Every structure is written in structure tokens, then in C-alpha cells.
Chain A
């Protein structure tokens, strides 16, 4: 028996969400009284593989596939899951994870819960909490099959350190031509920008900014704080900002530590996507804006007056804390 965790890497490096998933798997294994096994696919350095032991993995299968397809990755993960007799497979709910997890579930005839935000409650079955109605509520889902696949939301579980090294098991997998039908033609990854889904700090702006030409100060504030940028639906609909920045019910749901909303009124659909943020700040010139009811801190004022003050204060803070 075991709990298996997919240790996702990008360009040979484990992501923050991967370490969260390994920590989550370790705690789940403790609850089930079993061991934690990781599976890494891609070309990851031996030292990084061993270091997963610090986050709770006892062993890590290293599988060197040079390309990603959901079919190939899910086949490799399911193969190891069967070999290690896994009761639960933990996968981070990133874009790659989302494409792999359901295929793994079918291969293992496992029930699956995605968007999970809590450790399983194993006192009576296997129950996990997940976000539903795009952040407007939570649901407790009982997964009733013998094997379970759990896709956890990035930023929903902390990274634990236990000390120790994982044993590395180099594993060859034989995949048929069916696993390689999809060919990657081009990858455009924005470098030097924090992916919104994984960001701990987010600066977001709405129609109150009056036009795309005014986003300079939003980007500057984000850059000083080390935050990702986001926007409201109208802003993305008007093509002021790219759609992948749109947070809300029909955009993406995020749960950063800090969400600063500038010139966003706080419609129910927008709040749905951000209400799980730990701390919410609303800046709006309308004192009646609904966002103030959902916020921890609020400033009633014009963005064009308030944001430069925030930038100045943030620069001062960064200068004082870096000394």
C-alpha cells in the first residue's frame, strides 16, 4: 500500500505546487498509515529528486520522458500506482495536472475529486473538501472507490519539511504509439512573470482604471510587491488585458495570501473567484462598492491618487526590509 504523488516539474525544476502536493501526500499517508512515494517525469537533477525526501517522500520514481502528453504522463503515473499498490494518487490541479488526473483515474478505476482544498477526513470513509460554484461555496465529497485520485488546488496546502532524503528509483516505461499522438508545435511561456494560479500576492484592477493605457501603475505596484497581475471580466472582455488574467466565476479562481482589488466594484461573479484569498484589499472611489463588504482593508478614493501612494510606500518598505 502507498500514497503516490505526481511530482510535476517544468524545465527540470520542481514547482512550488509540487512541494505542496508532496507534503499533502505525506500527511495523507500518515492518516492512512502507509508510505509516500513520488513519481517525477522529465529530466530532473538527482539532488532535486532526493530533496523530495525533505517534503515527505520516502522514494521517488524518476521516469525520463522528453515530451509531455496527457496520455503518456497518465500511463506512466498509473503504471507506478499499480506497481506500488497506491490507495490514493495526489496530483496538483495545475493545467498539466488537470489534463493528467482524470486519465489516471480511469486507468485505475478510481473515483476522483478535483479542486480539493483540505486533507482527507478518514474518520468515516475518505472525505475531502473542494471549492464549488466557483468559490461561492465548499462541498465535502466522499470518494467511495478503493483507489482515489485527488487533485489539490495550488496554494491550498502548506509546504512541510521533515528532513531526510528520498531513495531514487530510475524507472523505464514502455509506452505505445497511442501515447504520442499529440505533437507540440510551439510553446510560449511568459518568463519572468509569476503565474497567476500560483501567485501568493495578486494586484488586480478593473474598469475604474478607465483604459488599458493606465495599467502601468498596476504593473509597477505588482512588480514592487513581487505580485502577479489580474483583472475583472469587463476589462478582459474589452481586451484591455489578456483573458488569462481574468479572475471570477467564468475566469479563474485563485486563493492568494493577498488580493488587492483596484477599481473593481465587486460583483458576485468576481467575488466568487477571489473570496478564498487570505487578505483582501479593496480600493474604490464608490464607498458603496460591494467589494468593501468582502474586504479586510479598504480605501475609498481615486485609483490614480491612491496607487502612486501605495507604490511609494511599498518601495520604502522593500528598501527597509532588504537592509
Chain B
């Protein structure tokens, strides 16, 4: 069993988002970067699958050298080796095309991504990558089991859940509830220092979109307070003033 897990590096969830250069660039000053939480779930589930039978887990990231601290963290959590495609990940299409170019002749049985990255919220790499490789995709999954060359997955659908079966290889994207993330232990951190981390130059260089500008949501005008004992008045205000009910 050969599993590839796509890792994106994103600002920590507590980050206050600001922009520089006339609102055209994300301000990374003082920002702590982490492995995208959904990718961490994908990685942990991949390790559980290989531990239950056998196999290897490779972590792949499309990013510049500053992503390596988090790639080492993926190795500390338990990935056997890692690959960094040395390029600025400009959009989902670019990232998927680079991963597809790397993965196409490597014989991975299962490729996992997060259901979306918490920075640009595309949720696209799973489907893009699968189409580029010509294999099925199952997105937003809360369960993956693999047996006899076939995967059984539970995925979120609008207003419910669906169980599907599909022969490997496939690409799937991890949703919360897939598993609990693992915290690296000291032994894992020591081992990660010597695990292989290959740096590969980009091959596809696919440009199809550009982030022109950013904007923060408009601040609220102010909060109208209603006394707790007259809470019912709120419903009246929502009906007559805000006109939402």
C-alpha cells in the first residue's frame, strides 16, 4: 500500500488576517504557520491504514523552503518520507498540476488531501488531481477503510451522508471526524531529522488565475442591546426592523 498525502501550510486558526502592499498581499509578519488541519487528519488516517496492514506514507507539499518546518512536522507525526515541489503555490490548479506531474508514474494506491485549505478555501485539489490522473475522486470523507484493493468511504452530501465503494487507486479528501490528529512525540521528532525530504523542481507551471486584491469584511455598525427580561422584543425587531423573519 503506497499512500501520498498532500500537505498545505496555512496560517494558524487564531491569526488575525491583515494585508500589505495596498491590500494585494497577505501580511505574513508575525504569523505562525501550521499544517492545514484537514491535511493533518488525512495524514493521520494514512498512517493508521498502513499500520494496520503495511505500506508507506509519503507527504508532498508544493511550497518554498519556508514550508520545510511543517513538512518535518509531517515526518515527525509519522510520514515515511516527504517531497517538496519547489514553487510558490499560486492557486489550486497550479498545486494539483505539480502533484499530478510528480505522482503520475509512482504507483500510489491512495492519494489523500484535506477537504479544503483554511486559507484560500478552494476545496479543489482533490477533484483537480484525480481528473489529471484519470482516477476517481471522493470528496469530503469522514471514513476510509481499505481492503483487497478496494476502498469503502463515507462522504458528506448535502443534508446527509453517502457510503461508496471504489477500486483503488483514488483521490479522497479528508473531513473532520475522519480521525483524531496525532501529536508528534519526541522519538518522532528525532526520527524526522534524518527521514528523506526530496526537493523537486516544478514541472507543469500551470497559471490560470491570480489573486488581484484582498478586502476585510465591513465592520458592524454597532450592536443594539435588548434587556434579557424583554427578550421577546428581539423577535419583533427581527420581523419589523431587520425584516429577516
Using CB atoms and an 8 Å cutoff, list the residues of chain A in contact with chain B.
10, 15, 69-71, 74, 93-96, 98-103, 105-107, 110-115, 127, 130-145, 178, 181-190, 193, 195, 197-198, 200-201, 225, 236, 243-244, 246, 249-251, 253, 257-258, 268-269, 275-276, 278-283, 292-302, 305-306, 309-310, 312-314, 316-317, 321
Contact = CB atoms under 8 A, between A and B. Distances in A.
Nearest to A244: B156
Nearest to B228: A301
12 contacts: A102-B125, A111-B91, A132-B121, A136-B217, A137-B216, A138-B217, A139-B213, A195-B158, A250-B13, A294-B220, A297-B224, A301-B229
A306 B235 CA distance: 12
Nearest to B129: A102
Nearest to A127: B212
Interface string B101-117: 00000000000000000
B118 A133 contact: yes
Given A103-B130, A114-B122, A306 B231 contact: yes
Contacts of B228: 299-302, 305-306
B234 A310 contact: yes
Best-buried of B93, B130, B232, B238 by chain A (most CB within 10 Å) = B238
B18 to A, nearest CB: 9
Nearest to A292: B223
B176 A246 contact: yes
Contacts of A253: 121
Interface stretch (B52-60, B70-78, B80-88, B202-210): B202-210
A306 B228 CA distance: 6
Interface in B196-245: 207-217, 220-221, 223-229, 231-239, 242, 244-245
Contact of B176 (A137, A187, A251): A251
B164 A313 contact: no
Contact of A110 (B38, B160, B208, B210): B208
B165 interface: yes
Contact of A279 (B38, B126, B208, B238): B238
A70 B136 contact: yes
B157 A189 contact: yes
Interface residues of B, number: 84
Given A101-B124, A140-B212, A187-B162, 11 more contacts: A106-B132, A133-B118, A137-B17, A182-B166, A186-B162, A201-B245, A236-B176, A250-B37, A258-B245, A292-B223, A313-B233
Contacts of B128: 102-103, 105-106, 112
Interface string B140-169: 101000000000100111111111111100
A212 B212 CA distance: 45
A249 B208 contact: no
Given A70-B139, A201-B244, A258-B244, A298 B176 contact: no
A132 B16 contact: no
Contacts of A257: 244
**Which applies to chain B's interface (DSSP): helix, strand, loop or mixed?**
mixed
A267 to B, nearest CB: 8
B123 interface: yes
A297 B227 CA distance: 11
A225 B244 CA distance: 10
Nearest to B166: A182
Given A138-B214, A181-B167, A299-B234, A105 B121 contact: no
B119 interface: yes
A107 B127 CA distance: 11
Given A102-B126, A107-B131, A243 B121 contact: no
B131 A106 contact: yes
A145 to B, nearest CB: 5
CB-based closest 3 A-B pairs: A301-B228, A111-B208, A102-B127
A151 B96 CA distance: 17
Nearest to B151: A182
Contacts of A69: 136
Contacts of A278: 244
A89 to B, nearest CB: 14
